Structure 1
Amino acid sequence: MHIRLALAATLAIFSLSACSSIIEGTSQEIAVNTTPAGASCALEREGAVIARVSQTPASATVKKTKHDITIRCTKDGFQEATFLDKSGTAGATVGNILAGGGIGWAIDSASGADNKYDSPVNVTLVPVGTAVPAPAAAPVAPAAPAAK
């Protein structure tokens, strides 16, 4: 009887483990939109191209990992534009840790299932010859009058 109970408990734990792998999956589709449309984009991770979008708007499927993805877009007549899509934590990860404990989290972490990327991604390309606007500076407070 004790063996059956132990076996049932073990099966229950393993059925709950890797919850993100089951719910979120180990790959993700990233939709890329550009202004203007019609750009070609490369999705890069750790210096290697992992996917391409030949003409925006379009999507590419990538394997999820803990590493960020740089989306590099080009179009004739426009300056190259990039977007950093940071790897975040998938929603099912917290439930996985609570329900499955360390075993489920370890499985999901190793497979990338506990990660996610933003999608859709919106990238704006600037025409060649146009200066890219600098970020707005904080207003400067007027100088205090000099002491006499």
Structure 2
Amino acid sequence: MKVTLLSLSLLLTSCASIVTGQNQAVSVDTSPVKDAVCTLSNDKGTWFVNSPGSTTILRSYSDLHVSCKKKGFGKGITTVKSSTKGMAFGNILVGGLIGTAVDCGTGAAYDYPSLINVPINTELALAK
């Protein structure tokens, strides 16, 4: 019975989920503007960070939208695409369809860039 449960649990887990999980740390930089308030969002949630700074987000296949603002400056907006991790393709062979489905569904198969640069228009501050 224990062997059957162990075998079943191994079949239901997936490679990317085990190795890197659903979470990813990302850093946001708005140089040369400091202390901008940034909002990051995808289909898994919304996160906030002051720039330059880091936060942990949930991985997803969908784009990550980043919006930063600071009083007296223009607004900075950028969108970054997720990329499929190489181990997700290996999971097709090792974890089969179940492992691949788990990784894709939880977002564990995807990555965003670890550093996201968001340009903020400084011309508004210079005009004052």
Asked whether the equivalents of residues 39 and 48 of structure 2 are also in contact (C-alpha less than 8 Å), the reply is: yes
Asked whether the equivalents of residues 43 and 71 of structure 1 are also in contact (C-alpha less than 8 Å), the reply is: yes
Following superposition, the deviation at residue 84 of structure 1 comes to 0.5
Letter in 1 for 2:27: A
Please say if 1:11 is aligned against 2:7.
Answer: yes
- Give secondary structure in 1 for the equivalent of 2:101: helix
Following superposition, the deviation at residue 116 of structure 1 comes to 1.2
Structure (1/2) with the larger helix percentage: 2
- Measured in 2, the distance between the counterparts of 1:33 and 1:91 equals 27
The runs of at least 4 aligned residues of structure 1 exceeding 3 Å deviation read none
Equivalence for 1:74: 69
- Measured in 2, the distance between the counterparts of 1:49 and 1:41 equals 14
Equivalence for 1:118: 113
- Give secondary structure in 2 for the equivalent of 1:77: coil
Which residue, 35, 39, 47 being the options, matches 2:36?
Answer: 39
Please say if 1:61 is aligned against 2:30.
Answer: no
Please say if 1:21 is aligned against 2:17.
Answer: yes
- Measured in 2, the distance between the counterparts of 1:92 and 1:17 equals 14
Asked whether the equivalents of residues 24 and 92 of structure 1 are also in contact (C-alpha less than 8 Å), the reply is: no
Following superposition, the deviation at residue 110 of structure 1 comes to 1.7
Aligned-CA RMSD value: 2.6
Alpha-carbon distance change, 118 to 57 in structure 1, aligned in 2, over 3 angstroms: same
Letter in 2 for 1:105: T
The unaligned stretches of length 5 or more in structure 2 are: none
Letter in 1 for 2:97: G
Q: TM-score, normalised by structure 1?
A: 0.71
The unaligned stretches of length 5 or more in structure 1 are: 1-6, 131-148
Following superposition, the deviation at residue 14 of structure 1 comes to 2.8
Following superposition, the deviation at residue 24 of structure 1 comes to 1.7
Instruction: Figure out how many residues of one structure are paired with residues of the other and give that number.
Output: 121
Identity %: 33
Q: TM-score, normalised by structure 2?
A: 0.80
